[in-house]
Every structure is written in structure tokens, then in C-alpha cells.
Structure 1
């Protein structure tokens, strides 16, 4: 009887908790600042404050050179691991800060093996491949309201049937750390466009009984040649096209990514600390540090 009563009490408690959760659950309204921010957070973050979230993407990389057909240069496998931490501002409300690090590995387009070297088809030179490994890639703090009281909005969010779509474009045009001090006069600025298209089930995203959502994402980047390719100013661009999704755990990543991280980038199996103060890295800043280090070592060995 005692066992029955205990079991019955546990069941009653579970039912009460479920009923309470059901009453507490609601549908997020994208037109409200706090709800719009919560939607943004569900797209980007894990199931709880400080819990890692992982995005994976897979795709192809092409060249585009005037006067010749596009070439399929590489396949690509990438991931970003991040966490969000809660932050509060007396004027702007309670928001979050996202911190992350990311890798993308260039694969042989026929064998799908991780490339260590690459024969440049334009120059005939064999070069060492430097995979994308940026640590950190952190975001600015996000709040329900701006300093002047403007509410947070997701201007591109739209619903189509059971789906929510959230596309956004990121035009990039800024100082190139590998170029000189006169870029406003002679060019060589970093010039690229990144496009992110998120798609998610509306019921999963908007129902607060779900602690987060798991969108799919497509990613396109149009950019200059990677510096490690040693193109020496040759005309042309690279086009990256990939698709993926937010995963429920790091373990869901493809084996090729997990193996390469374990071998050469072990710190990438977890996000940076929530209070990470470091400036963001890009392929260009990482490449510059690598070349400067190699030059300094060669100088010291003379």
C-alpha cells in the first residue's frame, strides 16, 4: 500500500506539473520585442543558458573567373559550436550574448578526404591548405530594446504554412589585415557577401513548451580567394554553397569533422567561455599570424 501511495503521489505530481507547464506554455508573438528576441535566441542558442549548441553544414566550393567555366575546387564540411549567456541592462532589458568558435575543412572533391596540400590549377604550385579555424566568432549583445528604446525586430521573418523562414544577408567590406595602409586609395579591402537562410517549423519555434528549436540553414559566401591559395592578385572569386542544421549534440556531427577536430583542433569540441573578451578571428587574421610566426622563426634561424 505504501508503494502504491508513493507511486500515486508521483503520478499526481507529474500530472500536475504537466498541467502547469501546459498552462504556462504560450505562442510567441514576433511583433513583440521580448518574443522576437526569444525567437532569435532559439535560432542561435542551446536548450538553456550556457548549454552548447552545434550547427553543421556541408557543401561545395567553386571558383568564378572571368572568361572561363566555374570550377568545383573543394567539398566542405563545417561546424560552429556556441553557447549563449544571459545579460541584463537596466535600459535595454534582459538579453543574451553568444560566443562561438568554428571550423570548416576543405575536402578533395572526388575522394572527400581532408586536404593537406592542394595543387593550384592556375599557377601549378602546390600549396599547404589552411582550413577555416576561427576562434572566437562572438556576437554583439542582443537585447529586447536598443539604447534609444527601439524594439527588437526580425524584419525578414515570414511564415508560409507550417514553416518559418528567416533569411539575412551580410555584405562585408572592411580593412584587410593582409593589405597595406592605403586601401581607400588603391583597393585590396576585404570584400565578401555572406547569406544565411534559416527554415524552421513554426510550431516548434513558437510554442514555449519547447525550450529551443532546431532550424535548417543554408549558407552562401562569395569572397576573394583564400590567402593560402597564393593567387598573387589573380582576378576571380570563390563561391561557397552549403546546407545544414542545428544539431542536438556534438556527437551528431559527421565522423570526418569529429576526427579532424580530435586530431588537430581539440579545443573546438566546446564553445568559448561566456565572458570571452577576445577579438574575433577570420581566415585573414589567422593566416597573417601564421605567416608572421613563420617569418619570425625563419629570421631567428639565420
Structure 2
């Protein structure tokens, strides 16, 4: 059964409860950490476990000055790392290809009151976000024939956030929470599979940490050695958001041809 916690809950009140679950109303930094696996699927091929995955998101919630007191901006950076499924070690290569980990800076969101789907689980409330995506790919096939699955990026992002009802009935600006995340996506650009049919399924679960220091030491060390800014949320709003596809384009810009002017 899907419902809000009470019949009188308004979209603004519901968003406030979700904001306390996903972040913190007082603007403190909040770290979510998750772990899981990445599977491949393709016609006439068995499902295959390709990678483990470990990731984190560091967020700061602020009022949206352009949209009033019931609207927010979520300022975040997120990083995630592909792991050897047997050893759990962070991969640097896969099938002789360099692995490009997830370094999304920023990964911001604007929130307005809306009827967030919730499910009553007795002592818990589950907030569900189901996000189908389809937009022009940052990696058109003509420019990236080896790295692009198509001219349209299509994916399905499925999030669930779980909080105890007793905590939500209180007044703390942030409440403990756990989460799950599933994504169906094309092949990653660095996998160099071109337009081969098939793609990937990410299946992860995690929780809101007490602080960034609770992230596993190995992962914090990797971030400190590569992109230390990912230990903190952004200080101010910026756009557009980074994705694995836009980040790959930055690492490997399209080759200039005599008839093609350089990008500014």
C-alpha cells in the first residue's frame, strides 16, 4: 500500500520529511555511503557480474532563494568506484582498458513541493523516487563511435530512502536513514562497446553516515589521493551536473577536423 503518513500531509510537509531523511534542514553536511554490484545484460547472453561498486555522496541542503521557504537546493558531489568482484579492490584497468570511476561534481538538485511517493512499512516510511531519463547523449555516435551506445542517453534510476516513523515524528533537522539504488543504463563509455546491444544494471544499498569519517578508510584514502574536494559538499550552486558521460567527454574531447572549429 502506498500512502503518505497522514491524510493531512501537504506536499510541503512531505518534502520537509524527505529533506530530513535525505539531508539535514540545518545545512550541515550529510554523507551517504553505498555498496553493491554491477551486472551486464545482452540478448542471448547470460547475466554477468562485472564489478563491485562502492560510492558516496556528500550533500548540503540550503533554502532556494528563488523559490520561497518551501523549496530547497541540494548541493552535492558524488564519487563511486568500480571494484574487482572477487577481491573488492578498486580497479584501475578492466580487460586492458583504463577504468574511469565516477567523479560527479556537481550532482545538484532543486526541490519543490510535490507528492513524493511513500509506502507505510509500519515502523518505517519508504520514500520512492523512480526517474526515467532520455535526453541527447553527450557522446554522439558520430563523434564517439567506439564509446557511445546511441545518440540518446536512456536510463532508469530507482531510489528508495527508509526512515523510522518515530524519528520523522520528532523535530531533529536530520534523521537516520538507509537507502537502496538501482540503475539500468547503457554500457559505460570507457568499456568501449559501441552500439552493441545490452547494457548494465547497478544494484546497491547504503545508509546515512554520522560523518564523512565513517566512510571506509581505503575509500577516503583513494579520494584524498585523487580528488580531495569530494570529501565535502559544494559551497554554492552550479550547473550543469556532471555525469559519467560528460566526464568522459572532458577526458577525451572529440577530435577536431579541418571543417570543425575548436570548441571554446
Q: Same fold (TM over 0.5)?
A: yes
1:30–1:36 Cα contact (<8 Å) kept: no
Report the equivalent of 1:277: 238
Contact 1:216/1:244 (8 A) holds in 2: yes
Question: Are 1:216 and 2:178 counterparts?
Answer: yes
Which residue in the other structure is 1:131 paired with? 101
Larger radius of gyration: 1
The residue number in structure 2 matching 1:34 is 12
Deviations along 1:180-229, one digit per CA (max 9) or x if unpaired, are 58xxxxx5310110100111111112211x22112111100110000001
- C-alpha spacing 1:96/1:113, structure 2 compared with 1 (3 Å): same
Distance 1:276 1:221 in 2: 26
1:86–1:93 CA distance, 2 compared to 1 (3 A): closer
Residue 7 of structure 2 is aligned to residue 44 of structure 1:
no
Distance 1:232 1:62 in 2: 18
2:205 matched to which residue of 1?
A: 243
- Aligned alpha-carbon RMSD (Å): 2.4
Give 1:34 shift.
3.4
Q: Quote the offset at 1:35 in angstroms.
A: 1.8
Aligned to 2:230: 268
Aligned match for 1:111, one of 87, 91, 94:
87
Matched, 1:58 2:21: no
Write the distance in 1 (CA, Å) between the matches of 2:7 and 2:76. Answer: 28
Deviations 1:52-92 (A, max 9, x none): 001111000110011111111000000000101123457x5
Residue number in structure 2 paired with 1:99: 75
Alignment gaps of 5+ in structure 2 = 143-149, 257-264
How many Å separate the matches in 1 of 2:46 and 2:154? 22
SS of residue matched to 2:151: coil
How many angstroms apart in 2 are the aligned matches of 1:252 and 1:240? 23
Is residue 2:159 matched to residue 1:196? yes
Q: 1:30: how far off? A: 6.5
Structure 1 CA distance for aligned equivalents of residues 30 and 159 of structure 2 = 17
Judge conservation of contact 2:38–2:50 (CA < 8 Å) in 1: yes
The 3-state SS of whatever aligns with 2:51 is: strand
Residues 28, 206 of structure 1: 8 Å contact kept: no
Q: How does 1:82-97 map to 2 (within 5 A)?
A: 82-88=59-65, 92-97=68-73
Higher helix share: 1
- Give the match for residue 173 of structure 1: 134
Q: Which moved more, 1:36-45 or 1:259-268?
A: 36-45
TM-score (normalised: structure 1): 0.76
Q: Secondary structure of the residue that 1:263 maps to in structure 2?
A: helix
Deviates more, 1:32-41 or 1:217-226: 32-41
Query: Deviation at 1:163?
Result: 1.0
Compute the displacement of 1:165 (Å).
1.1
Deviation at 1:263, TM superposition (A): 1.2
Determine the structure 2 residue equivalent to 1:160: 121
Aligned partners of 2:29 and 2:232 also within 8 Å: yes
